[in-house]
Amino acid sequence: MQAEGDTAVKIFFFLLLAFVAGIALASFVFIPVSVIWAGGVIGLVVAASGILRKQKTVGIYGFLFLVFLGGALRFEMSANAEPDLSKFYGNSVDVEGFIDRDPEYSAAAQRLTVVVEKIDGERAGSFYTLVTVRKYPEYKIGDELFLRGPLERPESYGEFDYVGYLGRENIFSVMPFPLVQKIGNGRGNMLSLILSRIKHAFEENIDRTFSEPHAAFLKGLTLGERESLPAGLVENFKRTGTTHIVALSGYNITLVGRFFMALFLFLTLPFQAAFWVASTAIFLFVLLTGASPSVVRAGIMGILVLIAQKEGRLYNMRNALALAGALMIFHNPKILRFDAAFQLSFLATVGLIYFSPHVDAFLNKALYRTRLFLGFHRKLLTEAEKAEIARKKRKSLFQFRQILVETLAAQIMVLPLLIYLFGRVSLISPVSNLLVLIAVPWSMVLGFITGGLGFIWQPLADVSGWVTWAFLEYKMRVIDLFAALPFISAEVGQWAIAPLLAAYAWIFWKIRKKKGA
C-alpha cells in the first residue's frame, strides 16, 4: 500500500511538472492552437495504445504529453483573452470606471488600477487600465471616475518587460495624467471595500503611535506596504539582503494563523471552531494585503497547515507547495514567467523544503570537524539523547541555527534568479538575516497588537508601542550597521548563471546518488 501511495504521488508530481512545462514553453514560444490540437490527437493515440497493449510506460508518457499540451493551451487561452483596443490606442477618449484596487503611491504620483466600464459613452466589456495621476487629491478603492485623455499601449523599456509585468494582472492599457473627475464611490466588491477601510484605519493607528521611519517599517512588516519606506532604508535592505522582511511571505502568513489558533485555544474555544476562525483570518488577511500571487501562495499553504492539524495528519510541505503553485498557475498562467515576486517566493520555499536538511547536515559536519581540529572531544550520544536534544530544539521557537539554515537554503535556491533579475548579490546576507529575523516574529505580533489597541484606546496602543519600537529600532540599527560596511554586495553579470546552474545540477546529482545508495 505504501509503495502504491508513493507511486501515485510521483505520478501526480510528474503531471504537475508536465503542465507547468507546457505553460513555460508557451510563455516563450508562440504555439498555434491548431498545433496543440494536432499534438493532442497524437498524445491521445499514444496513451490509448499503451493502455490497450498494457504497456504502462507508453500510456504514462502519452498522458504526460497530453497534460503538457494542456498547459500550453491554458497559456494560449489566457493570452487570447486580451481585449482588442487597437482602435483606441493613441487617441483621446472619455472613460468611465471605478478603482478596483488600493492605489499605489510614489513621491509625486498615484497609480490607479481602473476597471473601464464605458469608453466614449459605449459599454466597453470591463477591462483594466493603469491610470497615473498627481499625488493629490488622493483617491481610494471603490471611487468612480470620469477620465479624459489618451489611451496608450504599454511599452517595455530597457531589459524590463513592462508589457508582460502589467499583462500578468490583465492590464493592457495605460492613461498617463488624464483629466480626472470623481463621480461616485463605493463601487466594486463590498468585502474588498470593507477590508480596505480596516487596513487604512489600522495604518492610521500605526501613524498615530510611531514616528517615521518606524511607522513605515512596521506597515511593511505587517501589511507588506513599502511605498512609504525611506529610499535610504530600502537601499540598505538591498545591500544586506533583507528586503524580504517587508514582503509578505508564507512565514508571515503562518504567524498569523498560529497567532489566531493560539489565541482562541487559550480562550478555551474548541479546536474545530479555532480552526475555522484562523482559516478565515488567513483568507481575510490575504485579501486585506492585496492578494498578490506570493501572498496567495502563502495563504493556501498556511490554510493547508491548519487542515493537516485539524485532520490529525502529517503536513507535507512539498505537497502543499505543489498544490498551491499548480492552483495559482492554472488560475493565472502569466505569473510563471512575468511575476518575479511569485518566482522568488516559490523558489525560496523549494529551497526550504529540499535544501534545509542538506545545509543542516553540512553545518553539522563542519562543526564536528572544527571541534576535532581544535582538540575538543565530542561525547558519543545514544539515540535517546539525540532525540531529546532534537525535541528541545524544536520546542524552542526561534533558534539561531534554524534561521541560519533556512536563510542559506532559501538564498541558495533563489541566487540564479536574483542574478538574472538584479545582477547584484549580498555577501553579508546570511549574517544580517540571522540577527534580524530573530526579532521579526515578536515585532510582527506586537505590531498587530499595537495597531489593534489603537481601535480601543490610544494610550494602550502607546504603551504597547514602546516595546514594539524597541524591536523595530534593533532591526534598523542592525541593518544600518551592516549596510555601512564596505564590499558587502557585489555586481554579478548574467554570465555567472550558466556555471552556477551547472554547479547546482552537480549538487542535485550528488544528493540523488546519496539517496539511492
pLDDT digits (tens, 9 = 90+) for 381-424: 555 555 555 555 544 444 566 777 777 787 788 888 877 777 77
Report whether pLDDT(211) > 60. yes
Q: What angle do CA 335, 339, 343 make, to 5 degrees?
A: 90
Cα–Cα distance for residue pair 64/43, rounded to 1 Å: 8
- Residues of the chain with pLDDT > 70, as a percent, come to 83
| pLDDT for 516 beyond 70 | no
- Pairwise CA distance, residues 38 & 32, whole Å: 10
Number of H helices, E strands in the chain: 20, 9
Q: Supply the pLDDT for residue 130.
A: 92
CA atoms within 13 A on the CB side of 460: 11
Average pLDDT over residues 181-199: 86
Report the predicted TM-score, pTM, of the whole model to 2 decimal places: 0.75
Question: What pLDDT sits at residue 54?
Answer: 79
List of residues 6+ apart from 80 with CB closer than 8 A: none
Contact between residue 246 and residue 221 where contact means Cβ atoms under 8 Å apart: yes
Q: Which residue has the higher pLDDT, 60 or 341?
A: 60
Using DSSP, state whether 86 is helix, strand or coil. coil
**According to the model, what pLDDT value does residue 181 have?**
92
Least trusted range by pLDDT, from 96-110, 120-134, 286-300, 475-489? 286-300
CA 157 to chain CA mean position, Å: 25
pLDDT for the residue 398? 43
Query: What's the longest Cα–Cα distance across the chain?
Result: 84
pLDDT at residue 108 greater than cutoff 60: yes
Q: What is the dihedral of CA 17, 82, 347, 157, to 10 degrees?
A: 140
Do 249 and 228 touch, CB atoms closer than 8 A?
A: no
Cα–Cα distance measured from residue 159 to residue 85, given in angstroms and rounded to the nearest whole number: 25
Handedness of CA 242, 244, 250, 254 (dihedral sign): positive
272/307 Cα distance (integer angstroms): 10
Cβ neighbours of residue 92 closer than 8 Å, sequence gap 6 or more: 148, 149, 150
As a whole number, mean pLDDT of residues 19-44 equals: 87
Looking at residue 291, what is its pLDDT?
A: 67
Question: How many CB atoms sit inside 10 A of residue 205's CB?
Answer: 21
**Pairing mode of beta strands 171-176, 424-426:** unpaired
Cis status, amide bond into 213, omega within 30 of 0: yes
pLDDT surpasses 80 at 206: yes
Contact 454, 218 (CB under 8 A): no
pLDDT over 80 at 149, yes or no? yes
Instruction: Write the CB contacts of 273 (distance below 8 Å, at least 6 apart in sequence).
Output: 264
3-state SS assignment for residue 486: coil
Specify whether the CB–CB gap between 448 and 221 falls below 8 A. Answer: no
What pLDDT, on a 0 to 100 scale, did the predictor assign at position 397? 41
Position 131 pLDDT exceeds 90? yes
User: What end-to-end distance do the CA atoms of the chain give, in Å?
Assistant: 23
Pairing of the two strands 171-176 and 179-184: unpaired
- The SS3 assignment for 141 reads coil
pLDDT score at 339: 79
Q: What is residue 472's predicted lDDT score, i.e. its pLDDT?
A: 92
- Alpha-helix runs per DSSP H in 383-457: 383-395, 400-422, 429-437, 440-456
CA dist 428 and 99 (Å) reads 41
pLDDT at 467: 93
197-225 average pLDDT score = 88
Contact 159, 195 (CB under 8 A): no
Q: Tens digits of per-residue pLDDT, 228-286? A: 788 888 888 888 878 777 776 666 676 667 777 777 777 777 777 777 877 887 787 77
Rounded Cα distance between 64 and 71, Å, is 11
Give the CB-side neighbour count of residue 317, counting CA atoms within 13 A.
14
Residue 491, SS3 per DSSP: strand
pLDDT at 406: 74
3-class DSSP assignment, residue 323: helix
Work out the angle at residue 8's Cα, subtended by the Cα atoms of residues 6 and 11, and round it to the nearest 5 degrees. Answer: 110
Residue 455 has pLDDT above 70, yes or no: yes
Q: How far apart are CA 70 and CA 68, in angstroms?
A: 5
pLDDT class of 34 with cuts at 50, 70, 90: confident
Q: Which of 270, 250, 252 is nearest to 261 (CA)?
A: 270
Q: For 450-494, give the secondary structure using H, E and C.
A: HHHHHHHCHHHHHHHHHHHHHHHHHHHHHHHHHHCCCCCEEECCH
Q: How confident is the model at residue 349 (pLDDT cuts 50, 70, 90)?
A: confident
Among the residue ranges 104-118, 207-221, 311-325, the one predicted with the least confidence is: 311-325
Q: What Å distances lie between residue 406 and 259, 315, 400, 476, CA to CA?
A: 21, 18, 10, 21
**Is the pLDDT assigned to residue 336 strictly greater than 70?**
yes
Residues shown for the chain: 517
- Across all residues in the chain, what is the average pLDDT? 79
C-alpha span between 64 and 44 (Å, rounded)? 10
- Using CA atoms, how far apart are residues 437 and 245, in angstroms rounded to an integer? 8
What's the CA gap between 249 and 406, in Å, rounded?
14
Q: Cell numbers 468585502 correspond to what residue?
A: 191
Residues 233/476, Cβ–Cβ less than 8 Å: yes
| Residues 304, 328: Cα–Cα separation, whole Å | 15
In one letter, which amino acid is 387?
A
Give the model confidence (pLDDT) of 35-92 as tens digits: 888 888 888 888 888 888 878 788 888 888 898 998 899 888 887 777 878 888 888 9
CB 108, CB 133: distance < 8 Å: no
pLDDT of residue 312: 57
